[in-house]
Structure 1
Amino acid sequence: MEFGIVKGTVVCTRKDEKIAGRKLLLVQPVDDDLNPVSTVQVAIDSVGAGLDELVIYAKGSSARMTDVTENRPVDCTIIGIVDSVEKEGKIIFSKNS
């Protein structure tokens, strides 16, 4: 699992029927200090995430292990919306701050 920040949405008028009706989001991967790293990922949203939310996402075969993505052609799935992150005894992220 990795941290990411939702940066936008992806709209496809035509897509594989196995992902029809599924929300696709752009996710910017971030490191454990919440700094951007790597390239933006397109992810299926299995939890109702929104713009600018910090999320946890899974990649590869793990991305196909949710009720929303099982047996579907996906490689990246948002599996959690983060409420807070504590690192080395300090809160580095709080959704309510």
Structure 2
Amino acid sequence: MFVGKIVGSLWATRKDEKLNGLKFLVVEPTLSDPKTTASLVIAADCIGAGEGDLVMVTTGSSARVSLNKPDIPVDMVVTAIIDKVDYQTD
């Protein structure tokens, strides 16, 4: 999982039929190592997040579990809208 900010949306009129009905969001990872993380990623949304929201993104096979569709071809899903993050750096 990682934390990111929603910076946009993605529309695709032609796609795998298993993706029909899903909303796709453009996410900028924020609490991650910039050397190993893509600057922008696409995640399916199952909670109604919108542009500007700080979100938690679940990745891999766990992402499909949150959609209740184990055969859907996604590996990133927005699973929470974050109200607050507290952490300290050394």
User: Could you state the TM-score of these two structures normalised by the residue count of structure 2?
Assistant: 0.84
Match of 2:66 in 1: 66
Higher strand share: 1
Residue 31 of structure 1 aligns with which residue?
Answer: 31
Q: Deviations over 1:14-60 (max 9, x none)?
A: 1111110110000001116xxxx632111000110000100000111
Residues 53-81 of structure 1 show CA distances to partners (whole Å, capped at 9, x for unaligned) of 00000111111111354321001100000
CA contact (8 A) 1:58 1:78 kept: yes
Residue in structure 2 matched with residue 18 of structure 1 by the alignment: 18
Structure 2 match to 1:57: 57
Measured in 1, the distance between the counterparts of 2:62 and 2:43 equals 13
Aligned to 2:42: 42
Alignment correspondent of 2:86: 86
How many percent identity over aligned positions?
A: 38
Partner of 2:6: 6
Partners of 1:43 and 1:75 in 2: CA distance:
8
State the alpha-carbon separation in 2 of the partners of residues 23 and 65 from structure 1: 16
CA gap 1:39/1:69 in 2 versus in 1, 3 angstroms: farther
The number of equivalent residue pairs is 84
Q: Flag as ranges the 4+ runs of structure 1 deviating above 6 A.
A: none
Matching residue of 1:92: none
Tell me if structure 2 keeps the 8 A contact 1:63–1:69.
no
